[in-house]
Structure 1
Amino acid sequence: MSDIVKSSTRGLDSVASSAHDPVPDNGDEKKIVILEDMFRDGDVDPVYQAKARILNTAIQEIGMGRYQIYLFCCAGFGWFADSVWPLITGLIMSPVVSEFKFNAPFLILAANVGLLVGAIFWSFGCDVWGRRWSFNLTLFITGIFGLAAGGSPNFIALASLLAVVGIGVGGNMPVDSAVFLDLVPASHQYLLTVMAVWWSLGQLVVSLLAWPFIANFSCPVDATTCPRSENMGWRYLLFTLGALTLVLWGVRFFLFKLFESPRFLVGIGKDAEAVEVINKLAQYNSTTTTLTVDQLVNAGKSVLGDNVSDVQHQEKRRSVLSQTSVFGVKHVKALFVTKKLAFTTSLLILMWGVIGLASTLYNSFLPYLFTTRGAQFGDGSLYITYRNQFILSVIGIPGAFLSGWAVDLRILGRRVYLYSTTPRERQGSQVPFCSRRPPRGVPTLCLGGTVVTPSVVI
């Protein structure tokens, strides 16, 4: 479900009874948001849609607090890893080719196959077994197999291990972005765009580590033979990044407790657990909430009427389908239910495809081009290559803050970034378009994807 945010003083009970009737603002009550659907009734699951309205308002009523700040950091770890590991194939390409003597693009192919599998697997998986498992497992898989890749005895082992790393990394941005948007109020959803600063920091850190490791512990560029003992730089880099990724996973798993998505819970018929999550969120932020289970139940009844058997049938149907993990054509059709949504979905897919092609070519081959082309101009040393890579990484950091500032400007906003008509804010539950991409404009695509994507969880 996609929503437009408007300021109002409406409470949860009034939202439950009527989600669209305007309420005048007398200035005496605490301001929350009114969520106005961009979809026609019947375009998405009506029961879920009605309950999501209540949850959206409850989260906005709680507001931005301590929990969301911690979540911004922990979810940002996924963006950090999603920046580091896809870039690693390009950074280690020259010394690895010198040691193993293979066709370089095959290493990039293996890593990207893993990324594709991971993006598909985790994006669907987080709507089957929930956000928490996906959130906690992705970094663990990435760190373990990243460490193992550093000990690879040959190209086959290295390519295989980096492919598994890609499976873990491929789920970081879609899962972490969905988790963040599930629990952040609509008034602060622009922070998803600001989260690209973690991406930029990832590129900065990996370039900073690659600079001394590969420049000082690699075979000379013009060497005819390259034994392992003289080419340990890329292995040191993988060991370090694998250990760092496991540290970030440890912070997530042991120091931060992720609440399950309330939207996922109502999607599988667990209204009481969804209300419990909202209450825990309010308690963590030292505030209160007026949400009750009855409000969610009444929201479902208001859609289906007073026929108890129909309500129970709908709840049982969604729960059973979720447990059996059955996905069909209707999940794809949900993205094309209206002309406007079909056009915007097609445009997003096209933009992601073009950016995916460009970013893969750019990130994978840039260090290699620095080395080979630098030699033609008089200095193709590894020191200069990775120094230049570091400089480019530093320049990327301001872009994350600029994009976060720009998406909420009336003059610019998501319309200019996405070249399509979208609502200003949304409390979404899925981020299927978020994947391995560079900072600045692309995080806005992640946010824009959540704006126009119906959150159908059955």
Structure 2
Amino acid sequence: MAEKEISQLPGNVDKTCQEHPDRKQHAGLHNPGGYSDALSVDIGSSDDEVFSMSEVDPVLDAKMRLVNRTMDEIGWTNLHLKLFFLNGFGYAADSLILALQAVTSSQAALEFQPSFSYGLNVAVYTGMLLGVLFWGLGADVIGRRFAFNISLFSSSIFAIVAGASPSWIVLATFVALAAFGAGGNLVLDTTVFLEYLPSNKQWLITLMACWWGLAYVIVAAFCWPIFSNSRYTCSDIATCTKENNMGWRYIWYGNGVLVFICSILRVTIIRLKETPKYLLTKGDDAAVVKTFQYMAQKYNRPCHLSLEELESCGTIQSTYGKSRYSLGEFWAHIRGLFVTRKLAISTLMIWFSWLLIGLAYPLFYVFLPDYLASRGAHTGQAGAYYQWRNYMLSSVAGIFGPVAAGYMCNIKMLGRKYTMAIGALITMAFFFAYTAVRTPAQNVGLSCAISFSLNIYYGTLYAYTPESLPSAHRATGNGLAVAFNRIMGLVSSFVAAYGNTATSVPIYVCAVLYIVMAIVAVSFPFEPYGKRAM
């Protein structure tokens, strides 16, 4: 870090904690990552980062800036490309399990005749909730690498076993266990990817949400031929047996195997090392330098960070509990999300946003079918072919929402905050328009439009959350954010079971929720555009 900046930091940061003398000379000569030339001149002021930790721990702040500059110096590599694809599929596993539960529950219910038909919905959201809490909080304690390698593998095994379930209770149990592993991926994949990215590629976290929509396309590709064939599905409770209703089981088997293959590829192709930022916050400076030097050597990139440079900054004190495996350690990570007033406001607003979208999205789709039917709408053509064709079309449209969001959030005048606001307001408008649907064509068109616009908001929120949280506590904050979302998913299950689905009130409640989401988005205290995540 430049001498002029170290002098501005509070505390006892050694002024020898500064940029390597060769860094400026070499950064301008070799620029494979395409980072700004300005970075080679000045290793940073507080305006270069999303937020500053100098008031809380000036040593951590100084070291994190050095790590960020080193990632920019190394730039984009094939490792990042691998992470985008293989992390992306792990990211998709979350929506894959949710979709599998949604599309197979009715056929499984015909076979098992449960007393509570929304049991699988409760099971999947309960598993997701426990998963994001366990893997999210755990990843800040045991590290990203172990959780990253295990969570997707466990999800795949239970998804395969779910297809062999002999009863509704057993099926719900394995669905919950599959969701437990998948829920952790949603937190870990964005966290791991972000903590390896050079700053000018952070917008790819938003684009990675396209994998969310791709998962629905994969599920539709399995369901369309299977559920369109009467040999694999039954339609009458009285005659429905395992033998004439194997379709939903094949779908669980096939998708479970696909997730299993990807979990093996993640371990064998990436061979992930612990992220440098996690190692830094745990005080292992030597491992940080070793990781960067390995990357630089493997991809023929410059790396001038030295152990002496990091150690000269001092010792980090702000990221530990009294004991690593204790409630105090978990509390330290939660407390770390509120160490400054601005960070505390940001954390609460992020959690509130996840709660709002977790309530608005499922609530709308719980009430909409009966609401439309009560007003004489004919939203679909008869037959499985048309049903799954429409599902495929809306799923494909959902892939392009994050693509648009990735472009929009990288425009200076929009950034992350206004991209989210635009996505929320457009979705609200399409939701209102949907209440006027009366024909199959209108239904398909507006379903695709909503899938597209909603993923603009969702995809940007997925990226904004880890970008705006401190690295030492990122997985904890991210996990708790998604947990609020899953709690609302549970609420929607019971609303669907016991609420009056023909009333128009929930439609307007959802509209108000999207307006609030837009207001919250533009009010976020941090804008990550053009800045480095800490």
TM-score norm. by structure 2 comes to 0.70
How many Å separate the matches in 2 of 1:176 and 1:64?
A: 18
Q: Which residue matches 2:312?
A: 298
Are 1:266 and 1:274, in contact at CA under 8 Å, matched by a contact in 2? Answer: yes
Asked if residue 203 in structure 1 is aligned to residue 216 in structure 2, the reply is yes
Aligned to 2:107: 95
Which residue, 121, 124, 137 being the options, matches 1:108?
121
Select which of 178, 185, 188 maps to 2:201. 188
In 2, distance between residues paired with 1:220 and 1:370?
Answer: 27
CA contact (8 A) 2:162 2:252 kept: yes
- The answer as to whether partners of 1:80 and 1:201 remain within 8 angstroms in 2 is yes
* Alignment check: 8 A CA contact 2:405 2:419 kept: no
In structure 2, the CA distance between the partners of 1:330 and 1:40, relative to structure 1 (3 Å rule), is: same
Residue number in structure 2 paired with 1:273: 287
Contact 2:144 2:275 survives alignment (8 Å): yes
2:351 paired residue number? 349
Counterpart secondary structure, 1:51: helix
2:129 counterpart letter in structure 1: L
Q: Provide the C-alpha distance between the structure 2 equivalents of 1:17 and 1:236, rounded to a whole number of angstroms.
A: 59
Matches within 5 A, 1:51-130: 51-102=63-114, 103-130=116-143
Which residue of 2 is the match for residue 442 of structure 1? 458
Farther-moved stretch of structure 1 (360-369 vs 340-349): 360-369
- Counterpart CA distance in 2 for 1:15 and 1:366 is 63
Per the alignment, residue 263 of structure 1 pairs with: 277
Measured on the aligned residues, the alpha-carbon RMSD in Å equals: 3.5
- Please say if residues 371 and 382 of structure 1, whose CA atoms lie closer than 8 Å, have aligned partners that are also in contact: no
The residue aligned with 1:426 is: none
Query: Does the 8 A contact of 1:90 with 1:367 survive in 2?
Result: no
The structural deviation recorded for 1:439 is 3.1
Q: How far does residue 267 in structure 1 lie from its aligned partner after superposition?
A: 1.6
Is the contact between residue 268 and residue 322 of structure 1 (CA under 8 Å) also seen in structure 2? no
Alignment equivalent of 1:228, drawn from 219, 242, 245: 242
AA of the residue aligned to 2:223: A
| Pairing of 1:25-64 with structure 2 (within 5 A) | 31=37, 33=39, 34-35=43-44, 36=46, 37=49, 39=51, 43-64=55-76
Cα deviation, residue 41, structure 1: 5.1
Partner of 2:265: 251
Separation in 2 of the partners of 1:45 and 1:189?
24
Contact 1:194 1:403 in 2 (8 A): yes
Query: Does 2:472 correspond to 1:456?
Result: yes
Q: Structure 2: state its 5+ residue gaps.
A: 1-13, 32-36, 423-453, 475-534
| Within-5 A mapping of 1:286-435 | 286-300=300-314, 311=315, 314=317, 318=320, 321-322=323-324, 324=326, 326-361=328-363, 379-418=381-420
- The letter of the residue matching 1:396 is G
Report the CA distance between 1:56 and its aligned residue: 0.7
Q: How many residues in Structure 1 have an aligned counterpart in Structure 2?
A: 413
Contact 1:190 1:407 in 2 (8 A): yes
1:372 and 1:86 map into 2 onto residues whose CA distance is 28
Write the distance in 2 (CA, Å) between the matches of 1:271 and 1:130: 15
For the 8 Å contact 1:136–1:249, the answer to whether it is kept is yes
CA contact 2:67–2:277 (8 Å) conserved in 1? yes
1:395 Cα offset (Å): 1.2
Alpha-carbon deviation of 1:361?
4.8
- What CA distance in whole angstroms lies between the structure 2 residues aligned with 1:377 and 1:166? 31
Q: Give, in angstroms, the shift of residue 39 of structure 1.
A: 4.5
Greater mean deviation of Cα atoms: 352-361 or 92-101? 352-361
Change (3 A) 1:156 1:29: closer
> Could you say if the C-alpha distance between residues 213 and 41 of structure 1 is closer, same or farther in structure 2, counting changes exceeding 3 Å?
closer
Q: Are the structure 2 counterparts of residues 346 and 457 from structure 1 closer, same or farther at C-alpha, using a change threshold of 3 Å?
A: closer
Alignment correspondent of 1:429? none
Give CA deviations for 1:117-172 in whole Å, capped at 9, x if unaligned: 00011111111111111111111011100000000000000000000001100111
Aligned equivalents of 2:157 and 2:146: distance in 1? 17
Whole-Å Cα distance in 1 between the matches of residues 463 and 366 of structure 2?
25
Structure 1 portions without partners, runs of 5+: 1-12, 301-310, 421-437
> Deviation at 1:401?
1.2
Q: Following the alignment from structure 1 to structure 2, what is the Cα–Cα distance between the partners of residues 268 and 411?
A: 37
C-alpha deviation, 1:219, in angstroms: 3.7
Hey, what does 1:430 align to over in structure 2?
A: none
Contact 1:367 1:389 in 2 (8 A): no
| Contact preservation (8 Å) 2:209, 2:462 | no
**Residue-by-residue CA offset, 1:329-356 (whole Å, 9 max, x unaligned):** 4433433344433333222212111211
Deviations 1:414-443 (A, max 9, x none): 1213459xxxxxxxxxxxxxxxxx732222
2:532 counterpart residue number: none
Matched, 1:282 2:301: no
SS of structure 1 residue aligned to 2:412: coil
2:18 corresponds to: 17
- Please report how far the alpha carbon of residue 198 of structure 1 lies from its aligned counterpart in structure 2 after TM superposition: 1.4
Shift of 1:255: 2.2
Which residue type is aligned with residue 160 of structure 1?
A: T
Q: Deviations over 1:270-298 (max 9, x none)?
A: 11111111111112322120011111101
Percent sequence identity is 33
Contact 1:87 1:364 in 2 (8 A): no
Q: How many Å apart are 1:18 and its aligned residue?
A: 7.8
Q: For 2:185, give the aligned amino acid.
A: N
From the superposition, tell whether residues 295 and 365 of structure 1 become closer, same or farther in structure 2 (CA, over 3 Å): farther
Shift of 1:196: 1.5
Distance 2:320 2:220 in 1: 47
Q: Distance in 1 between matches of 2:51 and 2:165?
A: 51
Q: Which SS does the other structure have where 2:240 is aligned?
A: coil
When residues 287 and 38 of structure 1 are mapped into structure 2, their CA distance, relative to the original with a 3 A threshold, is closer
CA contact (8 A) 1:62 1:289 kept: yes
Sort the Cα spacing of 1:394 and 1:332 in 2 relative to 1 into closer, same or farther, 3 A: same
TM-score, normalization by structure 1: 0.81
TM-superposition CA deviations, 1:225-275 (whole Å, max 9, x none): 311111110000000001000110111112221121111112222111111
Q: Is the 8 A contact 2:289 2:305 kept in 1?
A: yes
| Residue type at the aligned position of 1:113 | T
Conservation of the 8 A alpha-carbon contact between 2:278 and 2:471:
no
**Deviation per residue, 1:154-191 (Å, 9 max, x gap):** 00000000000011001112101111011110110001
